Structure 1
Amino acid sequence: MKQRLHWLAMHGVVRTVATIAARRGDPQARMVADPGVRANPVAFYTELRPRGPLIRTRVGHMTVDHAVAHELLRSEDFRVIVLGGNLPAPVRWLEQRTRANLLHPLRPPSLLAVEPPEHTRYRKTVSSVFTSRAVAALRDRVEDSAGELLDGLAAGPGVVDIIERYCSQLPVAVIGDILGVPDADRPRILEFGELAAPSLDVGLSWPQYQRVQHGLSGFNQWLSAHLQHLRQHPGDDLMSQLIAASEDGAHLNEAELQGVAGLVLAAGFETTVNLLGNGIRLLLNYPDQLARLVADPSLWPNAVEEILRLESPVQLSARLALRDTEVAGTRVKAGEMVVIYLAAANCDPAVFDDPHRFDIGRPNAGKHLAFSGGRHFCLGAALARAEGEVGLRQFFTRFPEARLAGLGSQRDTRVLRGLAQLPVSLGASASPEHPNRRFAEKG
């Protein structure tokens, strides 16, 4: 009963109100209740763009404008959203009293849900471990993991679900190294990540909510035991180092350490799965762009930026006004929310010429906001870029004849956008020691 009441407060009321408001054309409600928006977000935000840089909604504002999004992500007049924090008072009261005591990426102590001074302390501690040298070492691990996974694909059937067999397995291997996860436990990490992916959304159905809670609960129980094990048997992984740094005076308590680890899972798994899956589909759909990479592999880093821009793994963010202020000539009152449509900002024609064209050589592709901005800029951006570049380059080097074998399907999520499955015909495999000559000669 308690869980059902929490779903009602956190999601059921939102679903009901959004369904009514969507019929009246409210854009924010349509994002929650209109399946057409989820199926074709480009048509939706293209429709919204003429309405101006800041669009009034039933419960606040939203923007599809790159300049406004860039400003909001860095503004001291706004703070990040805490899940459930902007519900109406009676509903918020019910939500707080029926909530399970589980880690959540949008609740403190997650870096996504706190502001200074807590945010400054958490980020400083994590940054002391997540250094450039550490990321460089992880890149070597990405290279090795990608090669091992591709060896397995080469030995298997000719048509595979590339999301299940490759795009999800590569980030799990990397996250496993960061968190010090034994190989035997990594399938559980994959399961928890998939179950909890919709946790960033509001207005979940009851079955979705139950799956999310199951994933969050399982991960909480596993993580508590895992951190205790690392304290007793520290390794050379980054989580062991973070535990040691905390004990040496950084003062991250147990809940804060769990919050950091939970964020690594939430931000480092699903988003990278989506980057790899979106990238493979785009490059198979646009063989002319793949041919450019064959001719000039130095374009791979920029290709990753263009994939992040055009198919943003994180579609949405939001900020809450701390005080009365003005945004793009519009007054925003203290306590009002602004939804930042990152995917729309990344296709703003005022910034990106012919924004819906996939162009791996686009000179300003890196101006996207896929990694947020300001003090909440993604700590793992460098690693995500490395995983994208290495994972995609190695896949197309090993399988130069790969072709789509079906349309695939999208994940049932709104904040995160990616593929649930994508059948790919691999074709002949090039030798890992001697890749296809058309790649190797230009490499």
Structure 2
Amino acid sequence: MESTRTGRRAGPVRHRIRWLAVHGFVRGASKLLARRGDPQGRLIADPAVRADPVAFTEELRARGPIVRAAAVHMTVDHKIANDLLRSDDFHVIAMGSNLPKPLQWVANRTRTGLLHPLEPPSMLSVEPPQHTRYRKLVSSVFTTRAVAALKDRVQETAETLLDQLAGAGTVDVVERYCAQLPVAIIGDILGVPDEARPRVLEFGELAAPSLDIGLTWSQYRTVYRGIEGFNDWLSAHLEQLRRTPGDDLMSQLIAASDDGAQLTQQELLATAGLVLAAGFETTVNLLGNGIRLLLDQPEHLGTLAARPELWPTAVEEILRLDPPVQLTARIAKVDTEIDGHLVRAGEGVILYVAGANRDPKVFADPHRFDLERENAGKHLSFSGGRHFCLGAALARAEGEVGLRTFFERFPDAKLAGDGSRRETRVLRGWSSLPIELGSRAAVSARP
């Protein structure tokens, strides 16, 4: 695999050593810990936790506001999670940074140089002043006004995709709709040509487990195949836009970087890559999770048809109940006492966002899908503090327009099978979801 830092290809031995240090050791240890009931071990190695994370988070809640696991602390408490996301006493985690010191040394020595969402200079793994510099650059072009102007484009794209499904009978709605809508939108705004979008989507699917730790060797190889392909494509894409810029936001991002932002090429690649990947990967999950939740509780569809003004709250409830990103983590910079529980400097805390979103101290009847919940938007599904998701407004718009338009067009849609979940823990979504569209299809409202 080509290294964008060293220019040398990382060979199979280097990758095998890296996998052993970053994933293999953790995976083996987690299996042993899971047998003993340790929550951290279960999170990584117990397939029942991935299948039913709600039951797991409720077990954690019953054990107290913050739970000590083998090597980290864990919380599903909304206030604690919210506070830690905003605390200057905690920082984000980079891949391998909380491993035992010898393994950290190996992980650092075997970095591939390829872009990775949990390795610097990704915005997900750095803090100020680097994070401030990167975020300021993205914010300068990814403005609220720019995002608001996209809503008509989201509507037009949704209707075009649904036109193509008319008369199709039973379809995999993830493949045919949930994945296609966000990749088309983010492709438009970031200058990705139509012919490249299937490849970008493929890279995203291959690399989706990259946020997880404890990958199998097979998963690790698949992830890095996706990351390598994305690196190569993105480097060429940025160079093409630099030579022939358009009016898209990616061209503006390059111009802003070249015009005094003083980002290195690697920093620009990492920033552009994260904006592109995050712009469609989590939204695919939001749409798929939303369609499944609404089909499982079809009484809400009747209410939404009669009262479409409730769609924004419906989207917030979907984000709260089945968030595309299930958890995040922070590391203590100093010894900190949390609710009488000591977290020492260097120790990690897993913030189980999906559990915090169901905290009964914040949300009344927290497991109920409530279309009139006044504080539905108080969920933590977009993180918080300085790492709050820059694309939150766009994701909400795509969720609202994408779901409303789908059910307006196919009011008789119903499940045609169980579907299958992605084999990921940090990201949660459907890899396939068969839907029978029904015989009653509304005609597109477009002229």
Q: Taking structure 1 as the reference length, what is the TM-score of the superposition? A: 0.96
CA contact (8 A) 1:197 1:266 kept: no
Q: Distance in 2 between matches of 1:113 and 1:406?
A: 39
Match for residue 144 of structure 1 among 149, 156, 176: 156
1:431 corresponding residue in structure 2: 443
Match for residue 230 of structure 1 among 237, 241, 245: 241
CA contact (8 A) 1:104 1:262 kept: no
1:376 corresponding residue in structure 2: 387
1:357 corresponding residue in structure 2: 368
Q: In the alignment, residue 371 of structure 2 is paired with which amino acid? A: I
Over the matched positions of the two proteins, sequence identity in percent amounts to 68
SS at match of 2:150: helix
Please list the CA deviations of residues 409-428 of structure 1 after superposition, one character each: whole Å capped at 9, or x if unmatched.
11000000011110001112
Matched, 1:121 2:130: no
Of residues 213-222 and 402-411 in structure 1, the stretch that sits farther from structure 2 once superposed is 402-411
CA contact (8 A) 1:324 1:334 kept: yes
Matched, 1:6 2:18: yes
Q: Distance in 1 between matches of 2:110 and 2:183?
A: 32
Number of aligned pairs?
Answer: 434
2:143 corresponding residue in structure 1: 131
Matched, 1:273 2:284: yes
Match for residue 211 of structure 1 among 207, 214, 222: 222
1:92 corresponding residue in structure 2: 104
Shift of 1:434: 7.9
1:193 corresponding residue in structure 2: 204
1:162 corresponding residue in structure 2: 173
What's the RMSD between the two structures over aligned residues? 1.2
**Equivalent residues in 2 for 1:22-101 (5 A)?**
22-101=34-113
Match for residue 353 of structure 2 among 338, 342, 345: 342
SS at match of 1:160: strand
2:429 corresponding residue in structure 1: 418
Shift of 1:51: 1.1
Q: Distance in 1 between matches of 2:292 and 2:363?
A: 22
1:16 corresponding residue in structure 2: 28
Q: Distance in 1 between matches of 2:417 and 2:366?
A: 26
Shift of 1:67: 0.8
Q: Distance in 2 between matches of 1:360 and 1:105?
A: 34
1:332 corresponding residue in structure 2: 343
Please list the CA deviations of residues 43-101 of structure 1 after superposition, one character each: whole Å capped at 9, or x if unmatched.
11111112111111110201011111111111110000011111111112222222211
SS at match of 1:87: coil
Q: In the alignment, residue 185 of structure 1 is paired with which amino acid? A: A
SS at match of 1:431: coil
Shift of 1:294: 0.6
Shift of 1:373: 0.4
Shift of 1:108: 1.2
SS at match of 1:105: coil
2:183 corresponding residue in structure 1: 172
SS at match of 1:204: coil
In structure 2, relative to structure 1, the CA distance for the partners of 1:151 and 1:8 (3 Å cut) is same
Of residues 317-326 and 173-182 in structure 1, the stretch that sits farther from structure 2 once superposed is 173-182
Matched, 1:262 2:273: yes
Matched, 1:103 2:112: no
Q: Distance in 2 between matches of 1:415 and 1:298?
A: 31
Q: Distance in 1 between matches of 2:52 and 2:445?
A: 42
Q: Which stretches in structure 2 are left out of the alignment for 5+ residues?
A: 1-12
Q: Distance in 2 between matches of 1:62 and 1:85?
A: 17
Shift of 1:163: 0.3
Q: Distance in 2 between matches of 1:294 and 1:143?
A: 17
Q: Distance in 2 between matches of 1:124 and 1:140?
A: 26
CA contact (8 A) 1:179 1:238 kept: yes
Please list the CA deviations of residues 155-210 of structure 1 after superposition, one character each: whole Å capped at 9, or x if unmatched.
5x200000000000011101212321110100100100000000000000111111
2:322 corresponding residue in structure 1: 311
SS at match of 1:312: coil
Please list the CA deviations of residues 287-308 of structure 1 after superposition, one character each: whole Å capped at 9, or x if unmatched.
1111111111000111100000
Of residues 303-312 and 42-51 in structure 1, the stretch that sits farther from structure 2 once superposed is 42-51
Please list the CA deviations of residues 245-300 of structure 1 after superposition, one character each: whole Å capped at 9, or x if unmatched.
11111122211111112212332222101100010111111111111111110001
Q: Distance in 1 between matches of 2:281 and 2:238?
A: 22
Shift of 1:433: 2.5
SS at match of 2:402: helix
Q: Distance in 1 between matches of 2:271 and 2:174?
A: 26
Q: Distance in 1 between matches of 2:16 and 2:131?
A: 32
Q: In the alignment, residue 311 of structure 1 is paired with which amino acid? A: D
CA contact (8 A) 1:193 1:265 kept: no
Q: In the alignment, residue 70 of structure 2 is paired with which amino acid? A: R
CA contact (8 A) 1:105 1:266 kept: no
SS at match of 1:224: helix
Q: Taking structure 2 as the reference length, what is the TM-score of the superposition? A: 0.95
Q: Distance in 1 between matches of 2:200 and 2:319?
A: 24
Q: In the alignment, residue 408 of structure 1 is paired with which amino acid? A: G
Q: Distance in 2 between matches of 1:378 and 1:404?
A: 31
Q: Distance in 2 between matches of 1:311 and 1:171?
A: 18
2:254 corresponding residue in structure 1: 243
Q: In the alignment, residue 84 of structure 1 is paired with which amino acid? A: G
Q: In the alignment, residue 367 of structure 1 is paired with which amino acid? A: K
Q: Distance in 2 between matches of 1:64 and 1:371?
A: 15
Q: In the alignment, residue 218 of structure 1 is paired with which amino acid? A: G
